[in-house]
Amino acid sequence: MSEAGARVAEVVRRDFSFLERGVAWLDNAATTQRPEPVLAAMDEFSRFHNANVRRGVHRMAAEATAAYEGARAEVARWIGAAAPGEVVFTPGATGAVHLAVEGLVRPGLKAGDEVWATLAEHHSNYLPWVRAAREAGAVLRVVPLRADGRADLEAFRAMAAPGRARWLAATWVSNVTGAENNPAELAEAAHSVGARVLLDATQGVAHGRLDAAASGCDLAVFSGHKMYGPTGVGVLWGRRECLEAMEPVVLGGEMVERVGGDGEEPVWAEVPWRFEAGTPNVAGVVGLGAAVRWLRGLPEGAEAWVRRLAAAARGGVKGVDGVRLRSAEDAGAIVSFTVEGVHPHDVAQALDERNVAVRAGWLCAEPLLRKVVGGPVVRASFAPYNTMDEVEALVEGVRAAREVFGP
């Protein structure tokens, strides 16, 4: 471990109680662990400020609302939103995609329209589009990938029908290969054929600033639990004009300005509150705000350390007989691979017995894995609290799995 990397890991690891279990957590692309400041913020809210937001006039309701809206402002700054009102809190990235598709995309689709999704999409940013296209009589088409795993935008421009192409669903960073698309290039390609773009930023938002307003994207989604925050909370970011045109999907308390008793049309609340019906996950939102503050305070070189760990893991597993890399050579935090003659679940089990946690299987990305890889994979993914010792444990575990289960 380099001296600088050792300092990063040492500083970051102080914030994580889970390390007491002795587990090398290399499943960060599935979910990151939560640092003490996030846990403390959620605990303090639950103990001393627990109240519903935007509806009470007592002091604790005001405190809860201030904490909730303060977290919205934190998230807006982190992703480069033009204003906090462009941030909508949802139950997760999946919920955010559904809100966008059902509230904005689906009502505007008609027979013969095209919606596009890249081959690298997670199921959460693919299946809602499949259903929306089917119900509208539209056509779902798939953007192929280049040899480096990035979306082939030239092919998209050539194939998309101007005037009929409506939306492009595209991931920022693949959860399988780690290949990174440029959000601005995605937006430019979509807009060049008259389409809008929804960016799945879930795998990228913990590793770099999105700069949403400058990206040109129309909508973006991500989840809290992949950026050191809690589960059960996510974000839909949208340009104001998109959110103003979006219909609420979940109706109920506090998302409406006026409800008449004689069947008259209700008047929705202002954006973004019209999309946050009922009692929100206030403690989760507070935790997400704390996660953003924690990310902002990471020591210099933290992301470079993550990339160095991933590069070392790539080099290490490539040296094991029968291993084939399935992730991009320049992937920032993800290393996916297969082991000849050994099922990925067996590799993951062998690693788990050595206290190394990885993901194995289809990774909720079957279109990519079926068409490009031909089957499931093993995925290790890294965060600033990981160490070179854990990389070595990964490599030794893969080697052991090959020796036990291999041909």
Nearest to 277 by CA among 289, 269, 267: 269
DSSP state of 273: G
Tokens at residue 369, please?
């894995």
Q: 402 and 339 in contact (C-beta within 8 Å)?
A: yes
Residue tagged 């669903």 (tokens): 169
Q: Which amino acid is at 307?
A: R
DSSP state of 111: T
The alpha-carbon radius of gyration of the chain (Å, integer) is 22
Nearest to 114 by CA among 96, 95, 94, 129: 129
Catalytic residue among 168, 339, 364, 378: 364
Q: 75 and 221 in contact (C-beta within 8 Å)?
A: no
Query: Active-site residue 364, yes or no?
Result: yes
Q: 206 and 198 in contact (C-beta within 8 Å)?
A: no
Nearest to 116 by CA among 156, 157, 161, 168: 168
Residues with active-site annotation: 364
